[in-house]
Amino acid sequence: MAYLGIFMVAFTALLISKIWQVLKVCLWRPYALTRSFRNQGVKGPSYSLFSGSLKEMKRLKMDAIQLVLDTTSNDFTCKVLPHYHKWCPQYGETILYWRGTRPVVCITDPDLAKQILSNKFGFYTKPKFNPAIIALTGNGVAVVNGHEWVRRRRIVNPAFSADKLKVMIKKMATCTVSMLEEWKNQANAAEDQCKKIEINGEF
């Protein structure tokens, strides 16, 4: 009977600990972070329990699917990133939103982006990438962190000198024009001169 009492106390303590952790991550942390950022002038869409801003993002993406873009314009943000397109004018240059219980700070100020990207103290780490993106780009400089990033950056850095890039520009332009011509020919050959091209396959 004494063992049962000890077990029940231990189980209750463990259960309370787990409940506290869930409440901390799902309620207290979003509230505290939102309040802290708001005091610094950073606003964003309101947090919903567990889903964060994902429901609103999903709704905006569903609305964006119905949009027909102007073929003479290069502004496709409203179709590809409808949440940024709506939130930037509404909340300002820096936005705090939530991917579930994970906070995301979106910045649009180029000077701030430069400061973050050139940071050497390790305050800003890269997020975990989707396996599909890693499959497309490879496990390269854009994905890795720490000493591995330093090593790989040192290896590829000479290839991106201004002189070498100038030599490659003509070849890149020729390759791009050739690809666009091929897409144009495919569109002309198709019915109604309309052809759906899957970019992943073209990569």
Residues 86, 60: contact at Cβ < 8 Å? yes
107 has a pLDDT exceeding 80: yes
pLDDT at 203: 74
Residues in the chain: 203
* Mean pLDDT, range 28-50, rounded to an integer: 90
**Whether this model's pTM surpasses 0.75:** no
Coil, strand or helix at 96: strand
pLDDT at 65: 86
Pick from 21, 19, 38: which is nearest to 29 by CA? 21
Q: Give the residue carrying structure tokens 């314009």.
A: 73
7 has a pLDDT exceeding 80: no
CA distances in angstroms from 38 to 35, 56, 101, listed in the order given: 5, 20, 18
Residue 104: both structure tokens together: 């995301």
At 138-164, the pLDDT tens digits run 777 878 877 888 888 888 888 888 888
**What percentage of the chain's residues is helix, strand, coil (to nearest 5)?**
65, 5, 30
At 58-90, the pLDDT tens digits run 999 998 888 887 778 788 888 888 998 899 889
At 173-203, the pLDDT tens digits run 999 999 999 988 888 888 787 888 888 788 7
Average per-residue pLDDT for the chain:
85
User: Residue 41 phi/psi, 5° resolution?
Assistant: 90, 10
Number of H helices, E strands in the chain: 10, 2
Pick from 88, 100, 82, 99: which is nearest to 43 by CA? 88
pLDDT at 2: 65
